[in-house]
Amino acid sequence: MTFEQIIFYFFSTILISGALGVVLVRNPVYAALFLILSFFTSSAIWLMLEAEFLGITLVLVYVGAVMVLFLFVIMMLDINMDPLREGFVKMMPLAALVAIIIAAEIVLVMASPSFNFDQSVVHAADYSNTKAIGNILYTEYVYPFEIAAVILVVAIIAAIALTLRRRKGVKHQNPSKQIRTKRNDRVRLVKMPSSSTQNRAGE
Amino acid sequence: MENIYLAIPLSALFGSILAGLFGRQLGRMLSHTVTILGVALACVLSLVVFNHIVLDGNTYNGAVYTWAVIEGIQFEIGFLIDNLTAMMMVVVTFVSLMVHIYTIAYMHDDPGYQRFFSYISLFTFSMLMLVMSNNFLQLFFGWEAVGLVSYLLIGFWFKKDTAIFANMKAFLVNRVGDFGFLLGIAAIYVHFGTLDYVEVFKQVPNLLDVTVTVIPGEEWSLMTLIAILLFIGAMGKSAQVPLHVWLPDSMEGPTPISALIHAATMVTAGIFMVSRMSPIFEVSDTALSVVMIIGAITAFFMGLIGIIQNDIKRVVAYSTLSQLGYMTVALGASAYSAGLFHLMTHAFFKALLFLAAGSVIIAMHHEQDIRKMGGLKKYMPITYWTSLIGSLALIGFPGFAGFFSKDSIVESVHASNLAGAEFAYWMVLLGVFVTAFYSFRMFFLVFHGKERMDEHTRSHLKESPLTVTIPLIALAIPSVIAGYFIDPIVVGDFFKGVVFVDPAHTAIAELKEGYHGVFSFMLHGIMAPPFWLAMSGLGLAWYIYLKNDALAHFAYNKFRWMHTILDKKYGMDSFNQVVFAGGAIALGKLLWRVGDRFLIDGLIVNGSAKAVGFFSGILRRIQTGYMYHYAFSMILGVLVILTWFIFGSKG
Amino acid sequence: MTETIMSDISRALPEIFLLVAAFSVLLLDLFLSKSMKIVTFLLAQLSLLTTAWLVYNRMGVESIATSATVNNVESVQYALAFSNMYIKDALSDLLKIAMLLIGSAGFIYTRQYLRDRNMFSGEYYALVLFAILGMMIMVSANSMLLIYLGLELLSLSMYALVALQRNNGRASEAAMKYFVLGAIASGMLLYGMSIIYGLSGHLDLTGIAEYVKSSGMTKAGSFDLGLLLGLSFILVGLGFKLGVAPFHMWIPDVYDGAPTAVTQLIGTIPKLAAFGMVFRLLVEGLGDMQTSWQQILILLAVLSLAIGNIIAIAQTNLKRMLAYSTIAHMGFVAMGILAGSNMGYSATLFYTIVYALTALGGFAVIMMLSRKGYEADQLSDLKGLSQRHPWMAFMMMIILFSMAGVPPTVGFYAKMMVIQSVVDANLAWLAVYAVILSVVGAYYYLRAIKIMYFDKADTETTQAETGHKIGLDSHILLSANGLSLLALGIMPGALMATCVAVINVTMK
């Protein structure tokens, strides 16, 4: 076993246990933390594959931004996980059985000759993964890249359309409205007939 | 030209759709305007086509639209336009146009005015599709479509019980014919592998010796079988014995459609079809003999019934049956051109007679009994004179259209050498006498003699309006002159390349040999027995009904048994009613009790419905609404697919 | 370089135009007051029609210019762009035009419905335009990457559309289910694609097809296990998108929960896109593995026909019933594809277009009967429709007949062609099975017709309806829609010939 293989198995063991942890632990915050662990280890594996750019992006974007946001949400919402886990134990054996069979089948396929690659591609020392991506991202892959951008825009539109709402009954100030207000909006002069009051006073 | 061909049926269809779907919005005036314009356009274009095809000598055969392709066989809508088609198109559209115009007055007060116009335009469309077709599929479509419209129109006054009975009868009897027709087409499809006319005719010589076994142990010639099956279809549509029973009853419909559908056009579809299929019929002498004998029986015996009818329309209806018999006889004698010639002249003079009868009916306030008429000559001069022309044409008075066509039929049957030709000859010869007798019996009873109607009717008697008399006059003209086309149509080459005649069948060839111009034909006609038979029929009618009506009573008392037979129409209606209708009802009841109520309703339908409902109730519980159940079913799907691929594909 | 870019842009012009138009609609909408929203509607409508015109106008021209002779046999007509990731051929053109026109018809049908429910907004139209853009990308994809991206663009827009009515709990639930299950399916599809990519080293479908042909078989004569693994996950993704059992579970809940306008959208155009996707992946990419995917599709078709037709009988909700009917119809689509012949693909293409047209009308009737605060989505809401709206009832009858496959409606012809192709593929038992289940299915369509024509309307329904007006445009469109089903049933030749020609040209 080469040194590389030892490192690979080390990280992959952590990756798989981390992924299992995401599914299995009861506490959602722990689950999110396990997910971060999985991201870290998979980024390490990517680094081993000389995909530095992707590995770093994974850490920066997912761990640095997405997961932190995710943790905020989980903590702010304070979801009671117990009802969601109802029947977990009941379903567990069946689910596990199916999962194990599928996993076994995939392993079986992976062990078959089709996945028997002799050697991975080795690059020269000055090879830069980042540069390679930069070279093709806006040339060869410009079309999918733009579409990915459109997908993100749609995600933004969707998020805003689904969440932006003006709640009724919430007391908040609108400064621009306050500034633009005029005297007539606030004060109303009402002419009252004075005779009736005088009559009453006279009685 | 293709566009013109397409425009002809479509303009009729267009008018029909407008009047049918938007009749209420359009109103009466606009409805009849659009339909008449549509048919008038079709008529004018048909004349253009006639000019292009017949006078310039073109033919057209092409597909307009491919409906479907199944196993390499094309199902198409296509047109085959040759002399035969062109002639039929002109006849159909012209008569239809006349009937459209006539209808304005005849149906004036009817609440179903727009509906009626829509139907007759639809009929024109269907009939055109039938005659213009270049394949059996479209032929069958047109065949069924005219049948459907005929059904709708016979029952046009759907609140009248007799009308409903009549249209049901027409429908059922035609079903019998159509069944044979469909079997014939199916046999062609199976053995020829195509439905295109030209393709089929091309293959006929290769299949002459093919035999098929329908009843075990009996080998039948395929061509004879196909020809007879097709002819059964023609028997239904063209009302040949024994499938004729629907036509007299169809007179329950309004008179214009009696003229259009049940005299001039639809009932001749069978004649047209057999002529079109002449390459198939010509190779089977058996089939031709069957055609001839059936036609001869119809021609004579149906004419006899006409003698004792008192309903003006029924007299004309039986006369139609008898004339259709004449045409059929001509087909059997391989004298297709004579038959088709008679088809054309008959279309004109029979439509004329029907419309004249309608005119009388209007004047008589819908009284149809000729015993209550008489002396109408002085009240309705135009109707009188046009009727006279029609009747003379019908009995074959020399110089009138019917003379030429009927004489050529009689002559060609005389010349035919097929089995049964002798019998057919005598039948058609005697038929001439009978025709003359019943035609002029009706004519004298209606227009001459004592005025037997009641006082109220008499005081309102007057000539019909222009929309009625114009079509009468317009139809009277061809009733006189159409006969002179005998030169090109019967003895000339009009149908050369269209109708195929086996050289062994010499009837028409002999006719041609003996023909030396129109006038010698007329001269010869005056010497021949048909003319004298017709004259004696006419004379007898004159003597009995105008001079000495005691004779009628005498004959009635003496030959009451014969009258009874004729009055019962040889018992065919009763037979059908008791045996077929009664039997069918009894069988139906039996099947209903045992088959439907117990087996199908009880076990199969309700049982299976219950079973399906039960399973449905269970299966719907799969849809629990829980997302993890859904996801789990997807995962199970993955499992099954994976397992199948990994373990299934190896073994 | 610039020249390539220009020609790339010119080939993908319809997509680019639609993208720009979608953004314009979104931006312009910000400046419109509530009473002016009709402008948004018109602009969105104009965008679709212009895009359709662009596709139509550029049909053939460029393709023929770059036609190539493959194997010296047939000239294949297609044009590639953007490093061979974008393909423009007869199939993509036909599907795009159909999708855009159906989308445009959908806009007309939904206008009043959206107005009544405060959904008549720029977001709705922009999202629909984006969804259609995603589908156009899918059917024009020559690379697995593009299929996936197009699919995601479509799905994301759809999730948002389903949930757009925020105060509707059922809609939110449906959107949630749709989203989670859709994400699982996307994940599976992506996994399958990545395996295929890993093995073949190709993302583009042509390369994959070559790889499968050259080295897909093991020496024993069976397919490479790795490819089969990839194929199975791809089939899961496709099955979900088509909505065939057992990947159909989302359909009833989403159809039922979503606002009917969105249901109409989900029920029509994505079916065309799904056909395009299946055709690209299975036929163009993995066509040589037909013997393998055929077996799975048989399984899916058998399950779908049974589940769709049988469970539909137990439904009382019209939208749910139509959802199960969709599942059964997609079983037919799977049947046509598994036949694996040009005839089968043409029949399926025909079937899909016809189904989209039929479903369009079906949901339109539900919308036209609904009004503010009342969804006419129960079967009982159809009671006495023939007295209230005779013409609409007649149209609905044609639509239901077409779904059931009763002649002379086009549904019959479509089913017949699919069954014919299955018989030709020596799977007569499957054809018989399909016919039997179609007969079972006819029961619930006919029941709906019976309710329309023979049941008396409730007095409440009649009363509630007074004063409710449906736009003339919807009426005219519905008439055209219904009558076209009849006309196509009588004269299917032209459309069928187009489908056959398109498939023959597209098959390489």
C119 touches chain A (CB under 8 A): no
Predicted pLDDT of residue B398: 85
B637 touches chain C (CB under 8 A): yes
Which pair of tokens denotes residue C221? Answer: 């004569």
A162–C150 CB contact, under 8 Å: no
The CATH number assigned to the domain with range A1-82 reads 1.20.120.1200
Percent of chain A with pLDDT over 70: 88
Chain B hits for C414, CB-CB cut-off 8 Å, are none
Chain C: partners with 3+ C-beta pairs within 8 Å? A, B
Q: What angle do CA B445, B447, B453 make, to 5 degrees?
A: 70
CB-based contact B61:B2 (threshold 8 Å)? no
Instruction: Look up the ipTM and state it.
Output: 0.90
SS3 B548: coil
Query: What's chain A's average pLDDT?
Result: 84
Round to whole Å and give the CA distance between B572 and B245: 8
End-to-end CA distance of chain A: 114
A110 touches chain B (CB under 8 A): no
Indicate whether C92 pLDDT > 50. yes
Predicted pLDDT of residue C346: 94
Q: What is the mean pLDDT of residues A28-40?
A: 91
**pLDDT digit string, tens, across residues B456-515:** 888 888 888 888 888 899 889 988 888 888 878 887 778 877 888 888 888 788 888 878
Percent of chain B with pLDDT over 70: 98
B619 touches chain C (CB under 8 A): yes
B25 touches chain C (CB under 8 A): no
Chain A hits for C153, CB-CB cut-off 8 Å, are 147, 150-151, 154
SS3 C222: coil
Indicate whether C108 pLDDT > 70. yes
Q: What are phi and psi of C216, to 5 degrees?
A: -80, -20
Question: Any idea of the CA torsion for A31, A32, A33, A34, to the nearest 10 degrees?
Answer: 50
Going by pLDDT thresholds of 50, 70 and 90, the confidence category of residue C400 is very high
- For B218-231, the DSSP string reads -EEEHHHHHHHHHH
Predicted pLDDT of residue B481: 87
Predicted pLDDT of residue C125: 94
Q: Please state which of the ranges A117-126, B97-106, B216-225, B483-492 shows the lowest mean pLDDT.
A: A117-126
Residues 6 or more apart in contact with residue B159 via CB below 8 angstroms: none
Which pair of tokens denotes residue C188? Answer: 């599976």
Chain B: partners with 3+ C-beta pairs within 8 Å? A, C
What is the identity of the amino acid at B197? Y
Q: Which residue matches tokens 């030959």?
A: B559
Domain ranges of chain A: 1-82, 127-164
Predicted pLDDT of residue C73: 39
Predicted pLDDT of residue C65: 42
Query: What's chain C's average pLDDT?
Result: 88
- Residue A31: closest CA among A44, A43, A22, A18: A22
Strands (E), B214-327: 219-221
Chain B hits for A102, CB-CB cut-off 8 Å, are 635, 638-639, 642
Cβ contacts from A onto B, under 8 A: 19
Q: Please state which of the ranges A192-201, B94-103, C30-39, C273-282 shows the lowest mean pLDDT.
A: A192-201
Round to whole Å and give the CA distance between C171 and C181: 15
A109–B646 CB contact, under 8 Å: yes
State the smallest CA–CA distance between residue A135 and chain C in angstroms: 14
B621 touches chain C (CB under 8 A): no
Round to whole Å and give the CA distance between C62 and C6: 13
**pLDDT digit string, tens, across residues C226-273:** 888 999 999 999 999 999 988 999 999 999 999 999 999 999 999 999
**pLDDT digit string, tens, across residues A96-113:** 888 899 889 888 888 877
Predicted pLDDT of residue C68: 45
B643–A105 CB contact, under 8 Å: yes
State the smallest CA–CA distance between residue C135 and chain A in angstroms: 12
Higher pLDDT pick, B113 / C129: C129
A105 touches chain B (CB under 8 A): yes
B641 touches chain C (CB under 8 A): yes
Cβ contacts from B onto C, under 8 A: 100
Q: What angle do CA B577, B579, B581 make, to 5 degrees?
A: 50
Residues 6 or more apart in contact with residue A102 via CB below 8 angstroms: B635, B638, B639, B642
Question: Would strands C74-76 and C78-81 be described as parallel, antiparallel, or unpaired?
Answer: unpaired
- Residue B405: closest CA among B354, B302, B481, B301: B481
Domain ranges of chain C: 2-507
Is the pTM of the predicted complex or chain greater than 0.90?
no
Higher pLDDT pick, B509 / B234: B234
Indicate whether C71 pLDDT > 60. no
Chain A hits for B648, CB-CB cut-off 8 Å, are none
- Residue C91: closest CA among C385, C430, C500: C500
- Residue B257: closest CA among B194, B174, B167, B192: B167
Whether the ω angle into residue B503 lies within 30 degrees of 0, i.e. cis, is no
Chain B residue with minimal CA distance to C321? B620
Indicate whether A203 pLDDT > 70. no
Q: Which ranges of B482-580 does DSSP label H, i.e. alpha helix?
A: 486, 507-513, 518-527, 529-542, 550-558, 560-567, 572-575
Round to whole Å and give the CA distance between B348 and B390: 9
Q: A129 vs A53, A55, A117, A141, CA distance in Å?
A: 6, 10, 22, 16
* Partners of residue B61 on adjacent β-strands: B80
State the smallest CA–CA distance between residue B639 and chain A in angstroms: 6
- Kindly calculate the radius of gyration of chain B based on its CA atoms and give it in whole angstroms: 28
Query: What's chain B's average pLDDT?
Result: 85
Predicted pLDDT of residue C2: 65
Predicted pLDDT of residue C463: 58
Chain B hits for C239, CB-CB cut-off 8 Å, are 637
Cβ contacts from A onto C, under 8 A: 75
Which pair of tokens denotes residue B640? Answer: 């099954």
Which pair of tokens denotes residue B561? Answer: 């048994």
Percent of chain C with pLDDT over 90: 58
Q: Which ranges of C163-246 does DSSP label H, i.e. alpha helix?
A: 169-200, 205-215, 225-242
Chain C hits for B636, CB-CB cut-off 8 Å, are 246
B642–A106 CB contact, under 8 Å: yes
Going by pLDDT thresholds of 50, 70 and 90, the confidence category of residue C76 is low
Chain C hits for A109, CB-CB cut-off 8 Å, are 225-226, 228-229
Indicate whether B34 pLDDT > 80. yes
Chain C hits for B640, CB-CB cut-off 8 Å, are 299
B637–C236 CB contact, under 8 Å: yes
CB-based contact C131:C94 (threshold 8 Å)? no
Pick B635's closest partner by Cβ from A98, A106, A109.
Answer: A98
Chain C hits for B623, CB-CB cut-off 8 Å, are 249, 252-253, 311
